[in-house]
Structure 1
Amino acid sequence: MNTFISRLLVFTLCLTPVTLIVTSRPTWAETESIETTLQQLTEQAKIQTEQGQSQQAINTWQQVLDMAQQHNKKNLQAFALVGLGLNYHELQQPSTALDYYQQALPMAQQSGDRRVVGAALNNMGASYQSLGQYQEALTYYQRALPITQQVDKPADMAKTLNNIGEVYSLTGKVSTALQYYQEALYIAQKASDPILEQEIRHNIAQVGN
């Protein structure tokens, strides 16, 4: 059965200037330079990820992570860790991806960025699913679902519902899988996401095959 696992990467992180914690207080110009560099690197990493340039994206996300750690920007650290995990997953290394998501989750929770929390949880589920650990995958997808509902991002919600449907399909619970797929499809249509809609329709067609 060839199904689509929907991983989440939050492409709308707002890099607003914050107080940077360093050994010496930076000047206004230095702070602006740091923020500009972080913004540029993050945009580059996102583009590389979207274009499937996984190895290049990993290198860029690592630069983002290093700078975020240096300046104690927890939300950006979590974001970069999710980006690293996603690209390792694309390179067929779900165990390595899972390690990065596990690091990202507590940081995202601490910073209060619920979209990154939802992405980390969903993507942990995707890693467990790829590893064949379906109950663990379902647990994390179900933890991600109320987060995606709370942040009111319909496409993220549809992706998580789709993933829950996949686990039920893989474990032979066809009727339950279809219920989740149909709900995911309805939300994807409302979100005007034709690519996601196509993936969900493909998964529905695969049920029982």
Structure 2
Amino acid sequence: MFDRTQWFLAGMSIALSVQLSQPVAAAVPVGKTVQTSQTNSSEAAAKAFKEGLKLYQQGTAKAKRSAIVKFEIALNLYREAGDRRREAVTFSNIGLVYSGLGEKQKALEYYSQSLPLSRATGDRGGEAITLNNIGSVYSELGEKQKALEYYSQSLPLRRAVGDRSGEAVTLTNIGSVYSALGEKQKALEYYSQSLPLFQATGDRSGEAVTLTSIGSVYSELGEKQKALEYYSQSLPLR
């Protein structure tokens, strides 16, 4: 399985940084108290979110658990501000952290709360990422058919929003599931779709992973020389 869900975290961090750069009025006109309160909640949420992101990026289990605390604070503040889109993003990010910690059921709980919010706000990109993330959890749990269901829902949304990098990731994930199911030719079909997308978007890491996956399929099919060809292409990219 190829997981590029961290883009979601980084992408939101950039969006929130832009939001934080906006000036705040010094005086609050009568009747705008609620609006100001929402602005304050949004800014506090953005701050907590960024702190959570920094902790997450440290990579240790302790730091990830501290990140969850920060994301939970952000989650409540976004809810107070009525920002359902960022609430959905934060739910998904908490799910991602729990997944990384090996707490797959907990991850699914948070993803399942993110999904309807993304749909309600029309955030198809966010919905696609969460569907992909859910598919990844089910794949890791060994529930390959269920993983395929979610990947198959994510794929057309990736295409609809023009997310070619995300499309490549989901195609590779689908290929990995088919490979695990023993459907090697089907796996190759999906890998062959993802590879040019990774190349077109300049994602050498994704390209390397997919080349290795193709090599593994050919190795399992007994085509060792062909496997070597793909491994040899992957190595310098790695």
Retained in 1: the 8 A contact 2:131–2:150? yes
The CA deviation at 1:110 is: 0.3
Calculate the TM-score normalised by the size of structure 1.
0.86
Calculate the TM-score normalised by the size of structure 2.
0.76
Other-structure match for 1:163: 173
Retained in 2: the 8 A contact 1:148–1:156? yes
Aligned AA (1:111): T
Q: Secondary structure at the residue paired with 1:92? A: coil
Other-structure match for 1:49: 56
The CA distance in 2 between the partners of 1:104 and 1:127, in whole Å, is 15
CA deviations 1:99-119 (Å, max 9, x no partner) are 111111001100111111001
Q: Secondary structure at the residue paired with 2:33? A: coil
Q: Identical aligned pairs, as a percentage?
A: 28
Aligned AA (1:183): Q
Q: Which has the larger radius of gyration?
A: 2
Aligned AA (1:189): Q
Can you give the 5+ residue segments of structure 2 that lack an aligned partner in the other structure? Answer: 21-30, 221-238
Retained in 1: the 8 A contact 2:111–2:130? yes
Q: Secondary structure at the residue paired with 1:55? A: helix
Other-structure match for 1:124: 134
Q: Does 1:187 align with 2:185?
A: no
Retained in 2: the 8 A contact 1:168–1:177? yes
The CA distance in 1 between the partners of 2:34 and 2:84, in whole Å, is 21
Alignment of 1:4-153 (within 5 A): 4-7=2-5, 9-10=7-8, 11-13=10-12, 14-15=15-16, 26=33, 30-52=37-59, 53-153=63-163
Aligned-residue CA RMSD (Å): 2.3
Q: Secondary structure at the residue paired with 1:12? A: helix
Distance 1:117 1:91, change over 3 A: same
Q: How many residues matched?
A: 201
Moved more, 168-177 or 189-198: 189-198
The CA distance in 1 between the partners of 2:58 and 2:185, in whole Å, is 35
Can you give the 5+ residue segments of structure 1 that lack an aligned partner in the other structure? Answer: 18-23
The CA distance in 1 between the partners of 2:33 and 2:69, in whole Å, is 26
Work out which structure has the larger RCO, using CA pairs closer than 8 Å and 6 or more positions apart in sequence.
1
Greater helix proportion:
2
Alignment of 1:190-201 (within 5 A): 190-201=200-211
